[in-house]
Amino acid sequence: MSHIEFFHVYEIIKQVNNYVLNLISSSGYPGLGFVMFLENVFPPIPSEIILPLAGSLTSKGNFSLAGITLVGMIGSVAGAWVFYGIGYFIDEKRVRLLIERFGKWFLLSTNDLDRALIWFTKYGNWVVFFGRMIPMIRSLISIPAGLAKMNAVKFTLYSALGTACWSFCLALAGKILGDNWQLVEVFLQKYDTLVWIALGVAVLAFALRKIVPNIGVKSSSIQ
């Protein structure tokens, strides 16, 4: 992508984000649900801005934490199904061609897809849950799940649980910070490495809990 193209894309995304913030403030839950759907099919719209803003508006009676969590989950899962469907019904080669052709408008590249594929191959179905809390992976992890023909019920359940946790935490942070809700995005950008490490430790701990008992079972059966 040339510098001129990047500038145009950046300006479009900036305008979209401004529209999104106004929509949430003026339209309540329907606007929030719609925006959370868009956030999953158009990754440049960051939930790190959407959810803290909604959380900050709880003090004015516009939203509640339970409502944000529920609506955020529903909108996100609906959006996740779009990429899951793309992966399920279209083979990987065609998915790559689509990203190569149109990805620049979504700030996506085949490298992002490769990273999602590696995560899914390495951690299996559970990364659909953990991945909902990781920028960019949050949207793209649905494609490997679709390509792998992951059970639709499990995909929906893991996506719902992951997005519910993410929605609640960001909304709570926004509620606590109030008018300073923008600090949530600043914190996540500044300490994104720590967030990644924490999530990595959580994934590793879960994997060890799965692997160690199985090793014990196999050892006892051999004896």
CA dist., res. 64 & res. 25, Å (int): 13
Exposed, middle or buried by CB within 10 Å (0-12, 13-18, 19+), for 93? Answer: exposed
| pLDDT value of position 9 | 45
The number of folded domains in the chain is: 1
SS3 (DSSP) at 109: coil
| pLDDT value of position 6 | 43
222 found inside a domain: no
DSSP summary character for residue 63: -
Per-residue burial over 118-148, b if 16 or more Cβ lie within 10 Å, else e, is ebbeebeebbbbbbbbbebbbbbbbbbbbbb
Question: pLDDT digits over 37-74, tens only?
Answer: 988 887 667 778 888 888 888 888 888 999 999 999 99
Question: pLDDT digits over 71-97, tens only?
Answer: 999 999 999 999 999 889 988 889 889
Contacts of 72 (CB under 8 A, 6+ apart): 32, 33, 36, 47, 51, 54, 163, 164, 166, 167, 171
84 found inside a domain: yes
DSSP summary character for residue 2: -
| pLDDT value of position 60 | 84
| pLDDT value of position 219 | 47
With a cut of 70, list the residues of the chain below it in pLDDT. Answer: 1-18, 20, 43-44, 136, 189-223
| pLDDT value of position 78 | 94
| pLDDT value of position 50 | 84
Domain hosting 209: range is 3-217
Percentage of residues in the chain having pLDDT higher than 90: 20
| pLDDT value of position 210 | 59
202 found inside a domain: yes
| pLDDT value of position 120 | 87
223 found inside a domain: no
